Amino acid sequence: MEAISQLLLQPYSYLIYMAIAWALLWKGIALWYAARCGQLAWFIVLFLANTVSILEIIYVVFFRREIDETENDDQCC
């Protein structure tokens, strides 16, 4: 535990904080889309896997479902 606290107090510890914020942002976006679209498998994989946002970005860009413009806003993203 002391090693972690020493790491977080280093001069470049802001990079760790930025990486954590980056990962949490993308994880939140990807989980929101997966839950809203009813994609349970993607939700579970995104929730359990920690890939420093690589998998989350791939999901948001390539695999989330698009809605038709004629459909209601309550439908999937």
Average pLDDT for 57-68: 79
Better pLDDT: 72 or 59: 59
Q: Which of 76, 57, 55 is nearest to 66 (CA)?
A: 76
Cβ burial of 48 (10 Å; 0-12, 13-18, 19+) is exposed
Judge whether residue 73 has pLDDT over 90: no
- Tens digits of residue pLDDT in 6-58: 766 777 778 888 888 999 999 999 999 999 989 999 899 988 887 778 888 88
Cα 46-12-1 angle, rounded to 5 deg: 70
pTM metric for this prediction: 0.67
